[in-house]
Amino acid sequence: MKNKSFLVNSVSVRKRIVVLFFIFIILPFIFLAYYSYNQSVKGISDANASFSLDFLIQSKKNFEDYLKDLNEQMNTLIGTKKLQDLVIAKPKGPAEEEAYAAELEDFIYEKKPIVDAYRIRVYPLLTVPYFAYIHHFYYGNDISNENWFTEVKKTGRPSWYLFMPADNADLYPFPIISYVKRFTGLYDNVPRGLIIADLSEDNIYRYMSTPQRLNGQETFLLDIHGVIISHPVKSKIGTILESPELISLIDLSGEGTEIIKLGKTKFLATFVKLEQQPWTMVSTIPLSEMTKSISKISNVTYYFILGYILSCIIMILYITNFFTNPIVHLVRSMRKMDSNNVAMPLQYLKRQDEIGLLYRGFDQMRSKNYDLIEEVHKSVKTKKELEFQVLSHQINPHFLYNTLESIRWKAEQSHMKEISEMVSALGNLLRLSLNQGQELTTVSRELEHLRAYIHIEKARLDKPFRIMIQVDEDTLKLPLLRLIFQPLIENAIHHGIRDNPETGKIILTGKLEGNNLYFELIDNGKGIPPHIIEGLNNPPMDGMQAKNTNGGVGLSNVNKRLKLYFGEAYGLQIICEEGKGTKIIIKHPVLPENYEG
């Protein structure tokens, strides 16, 4: 019933209307709005990316030209004879050191205008003879222990270094990018000193500032490790860019654009690598700033879609309440009528439209069929009871039992032991068959009845045959429909192994599986003819029961009684090949030990 309910609900008119509204009306509007918004954002992003990339390429060219000119300006300063003479002079005594420091400082101050930098510094490679000069110029620190000094002095390779106020607040009051270069003598190529050009933020940022800057737009300089070496926000200089994906993309490409996330904000990032220096120019623009121009259109579209969805929902509710709900109630009434619950009130009978017409027609049908259904139920119940009595009381010679007891007593008086045993077995057979008028017995009593029958058959046929019974002990006390085993054993003896009793064998096994009892009857006889199996599976339509050739209760009788008493799920299953024996499986439900149903 649950599966049936699911099937009805899954194809209900209500759900179909909701799905159709969603697929053909709501979904296209949502898709169109989403597609339009994305295309607008993409167009604006592409335009800004193109503009930013062109600007960075031009800024890169200008900045590299500036760095090239700065290098040439430093070379010009290095080539002056006076500087060469000063760095090789060795003052003697404090007085000469003071004079030397003043002369070198005056020279640097005089030549500073020819170098476009925040500051120019010159240090001799041998720092000991120039203690006063270096002490004055480096604010009391020993420059010979600085890593940048020893590295450039040793390798001679020009290098860039980022100095922060934490390194020396007096020398670096704000972040400084310094270009450190070793120079030699003009004629002997002997290393003489280091010349340093200190660039401030203003020296660099003038080449990266955009003429029209959006709110939140930032242009900055990165080194190869992702460290920010120039940024309009001073606190970010010296930190690592919080976007590993952009750093990875810069490693793979010389220039490009990428949507990145810094913190909780998305940015359009454009980058260009410098060719002569290990730096990358990066420009970031918040996506929210780029899409600000279409935000009003997006808001109008959003509210329009929201209103449209609400209107659709109201329409669906209206259709549901006035059209589909009555149909659902009618379907429920029909389902309850299927389960014999026809005495139920109906709504919507007074409606004058098609829904009311359907309800009135169904109510008339329900009223006419109510009495017929009750009558049919009573007729079926009476028919089953009568048919079961006919099937289960074919052998009901109660008076024979007392007569057989008298015969057995006379046989014992006449010392006829075999006759006495046969009569005693037959008496037990009849007694167990009667079962005190009850339709249910137990597995144990049914096996006792079967053994009495086997004893009689062995004596009557006067032929040896083997019958093995292997039934689990936990099944012996369970209720069982009577006269189940005897007809099947009788069929196996007379139609299976009777013609070949020496090699014939019958095995009866029984076990408990879940909520069912399973018994298997196996013989190695000649098998059951196909027409008998066909008659068992397709009984006659007139309800007449099938009988075996000896007039006893046959296979069809047992199968039909099991189905009548317990339902179509129970009965016999026959597996047989003619000439190779038969296997019969009996399926019987597990009933409580005191069951009397």
- Per the structure block, which two tokens stand in for 466? 């083997």
Torsion of CA 76, 111, 166, 87, to 10 degrees: 70
CB-CB neighbours of 487 under 10 Å:
20
In whole angstroms, what is the distance from residue 260 CA to residue 68 CA? 32
CB-CB contact of 590 with 478 (8 Å): yes
- Name the 3-class secondary structure at 465: coil
Phi, psi (degrees; rounded to nearest 5) at 139: 55, 50
CB-CB contact of 201 with 180 (8 Å): no
541 has a pLDDT exceeding 50: no
Residue scoring higher pLDDT (197 or 293): 197
In Å, how far are 184, 193, 550 from 100, measured between CA atoms? 20, 15, 143
Note if the pTM is more than 0.75: no
In whole angstroms, what is the distance from residue 520 CA to residue 508 CA? 6
pLDDT score, position 396: 46
388 has a pLDDT exceeding 90: no
For residues 400-411, give the mean pLDDT.
Answer: 60
Lowest mean pLDDT among 120-129, 133-142, 155-164, 195-204: 133-142
For residues 512-534, give the mean pLDDT.
Answer: 86
Hey, which residues does 480 pair with through a beta bridge? 441
CB-CB contact of 284 with 231 (8 Å): no
pLDDT band with cut points at 50, 70 and 90 for residue 542: very low
For residues 321-345, give the mean pLDDT.
Answer: 68
Phi, psi (degrees; rounded to nearest 5) at 596: -130, 20
230 has a pLDDT exceeding 60: yes
- Per the structure block, which two tokens stand in for 454? 């086997």
pLDDT score, position 552: 35
Structural domains present in the chain: 12-332 (3.30.450.20), 465-589 (3.30.565.10)
User: Count H helices, E strands: the chain?
Assistant: 19, 16
pLDDT score, position 547: 44
Strand segments (E) across 201-312 = 218-223, 228-230, 255-262, 265-273, 279-286
In whole angstroms, what is the distance from residue 137 CA to residue 70 CA? 22
365 has a pLDDT exceeding 60: yes
Q: Which of 370, 419, 415, 316 is nearest to 25 (CA)?
A: 316
pLDDT score, position 544: 45
587 has a pLDDT exceeding 90: yes
